[in-house]
């Protein structure tokens, strides 16, 4: 029999006696690995990673260090907030479409709407490092920088998210992710991640995100900043984060290239800044 084009799907039914009062459980899950591109208008904004819709996250983000926030994010289930879940589900079609302009869109929300009931969680990075640093780092650091430093911070934020978009796009079509560093090609990044699996491996995603920071910092003009700005930028991360080797790698990789552009006197000053950071690290490890 020909299929009726007006019928989306059909199901077999089994009649049960009216005395059977057991609730009928219908399982429904979605696992969509296709990551849609972000709207150009949101790239460079902190909401790109996560819009703080969950009250639990708002409470945590305002009263904790990144170290504690990251530990909490690793076990947080964003589906536990039913009001937020319902709000997102009502707008699901808009949140998963390419270049969505929905007011609730974020990388975190889009992931939730593409992975419903399939056991996948959004990468912790979206909430713990991405949004926290985009908002907290920028809010505290921006007023203290020179005009050149302010421009670097805004441009660096945009380039970080551009790099993330580039990596996600590459992963949709293959297993090789290439992030160019236009100013210093030797600092370009190449990673191998199974196709369409980047968002699904929390540790891999964090490594990808951290690796793409250096090209963004350098392309935004880190080497052009005065030492006064560099001192403020270098001293900004929370003190416990200097125990994270990924944080050190970013500082070292950026510093190598900046040192080449500065010249002798500036290199010495840069070494003094690094020495102060090392002393801070050692004080934490005691």
Q: What's the rounded mean pLDDT across residues 235-241?
A: 54
pLDDT for the residue numbered 19: 59
pTM greater than 0.85 = no
Of 250 and 154, the structure prediction assigns the larger pLDDT to 154
**pLDDT score of 135:** 86
User: Residue 191 in contact with residue 175, Cβ under 8 Å?
Assistant: no
Reported as a single tens digit per residue, the pLDDT across 80-122 is: 999 999 999 999 999 999 999 999 999 999 999 999 998 899 9
Task: Decide which of 61 and 177 is more confident.
Answer: 177
Residue 270 pLDDT > 70: no
Query: Is pLDDT above 90 for 172?
Result: yes
Confidence at residue 7, expressed as pLDDT on a 0 to 100 scale: 40
Residue 26 confidence (pLDDT): 39
pLDDT at 230: 75
Residue 210 pLDDT greater than 80, yes or no: yes
Q: What is the mean pLDDT of residues 56-61?
A: 83
């Amino acid at each position: 029999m020909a299929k009726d084009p007006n019928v989306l799907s059909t199901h077999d039914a089994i009649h049960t006696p009216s005395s059977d009062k057991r609730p009928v459980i219908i399982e429904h899950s979605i696992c969509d690995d296709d990551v849609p591109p972000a709207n150009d208008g949101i790239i460079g904004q902190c909401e790109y990673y996560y819009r703080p819709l969950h009250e639990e996250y708002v409470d945590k983000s305002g009263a904790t260090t990144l170290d504690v926030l990251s530990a909490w994010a690793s076990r947080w289930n964003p589906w536990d907030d039913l009001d937020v879940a319902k709000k997102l589900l009502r707008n699901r079609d808009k949140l998963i479409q390419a270049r969505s302009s929905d007011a609730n869109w974020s990388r975190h929300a889009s992931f939730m709407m593409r992975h419903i009931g399939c056991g996948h969680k959004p990468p912790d990075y979206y909430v713990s490092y991405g949004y926290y640093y985009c908002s907290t780092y920028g809010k505290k650091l921006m007023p203290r920088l020179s005009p050149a430093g302010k421009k670097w911070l805004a441009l660096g934020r945009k380039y970080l998210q551009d790099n993330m978009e580039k990596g996600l796009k590459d992963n949709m079509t293959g297993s090789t992710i290439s992030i160019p560093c236009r100013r210093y090609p030797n600092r370009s990044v190449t990673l191998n991640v199974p196709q369409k699996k980047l968002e699904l491996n929390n540790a891999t995603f964090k490594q990808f995100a951290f690796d793409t920071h250096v090209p963004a910092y350098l392309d935004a003009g880190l080497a052009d900043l005065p030492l006064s700005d560099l001192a403020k930028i270098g001293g900004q991360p929370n003190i416990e984060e200097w125990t994270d080797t990924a944080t050190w790698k970013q500082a070292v990789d950026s510093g190598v290239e900046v040192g080449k552009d500065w010249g002798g006197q500036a290199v010495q000053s840069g070494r003094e800044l690094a020495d102060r950071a090392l002393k801070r690290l050692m004080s934490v490890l005691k």
